[in-house]
Amino acid sequence: DAPSSVSPGTVVSVGVTVSNEGTFSETTIVTLTDATAATSIGSRSVSLAAGASETLSFGWDTTGEASGAHILTAEASAVTGETDTADNASSISVSIVEAPSLHVEQINMSLLNRGRNWEALAAVHIVDTAGAPVDGASVSGYWTLSESFFGFETAITNTEGR
């Protein structure tokens, strides 16, 4: 069990459930590998009574791993006398997804005098590294005109990055 996507540079918990379908207590070695990167994530020995199961947790450190889909494969070693080894391995795909890089391209600010009241306006434009507008970015701002005239606002950008 693992999340379908993760951020690079994080340690992800991967759960592997091992079952003993036999009629005797057995000990096996469970190995988890990143088949895409051809690296071992870890190995554990587990002893199970007949008919028992246990979930083992492995920590997969994605630091330095390439972005994209990674096939994680868990495999239990065959035990003495085992004839059904078809279910000794299982795989899952987990994608390492880079967070989008974005920045404020432009800020336009103005104050409007509404008689006895003032209205402060700030318009921002958020774009990614290619200059494309970013939809759904959270933008927060704090403004102050005097000790008694200040505010804080948060908004979400639209499809135009505004």
| Separation CA 11–CA 59 (nearest Å) | 6
Nearest CA to 102 among 138, 72, 75, 155? 138
Going residue by residue through the chain (162 aa), what tens digit of pLDDT does each one get? 888 989 899 999 999 999 999 999 999 999 999 999 999 999 999 999 999 999 999 999 999 999 999 999 999 999 988 988 999 999 999 999 987 788 899 999 888 888 888 787 889 999 988 899 999 899 988 877 777 777 788 999 999 999
Per the listing, tokens 């948060």 go with 154
| Separation CA 134–CA 28 (nearest Å) | 50
| Separation CA 105–CA 131 (nearest Å) | 8
| Separation CA 42–CA 56 (nearest Å) | 11
Q: Within a 10 A sphere around the Cβ of 100, how many other Cβ atoms?
A: 11
Token pair for residue 135?
């939809």
Q: Within a 10 A sphere around the Cβ of 123, how many other Cβ atoms?
A: 10
Nearest CA to 124 among 138, 114, 111? 138
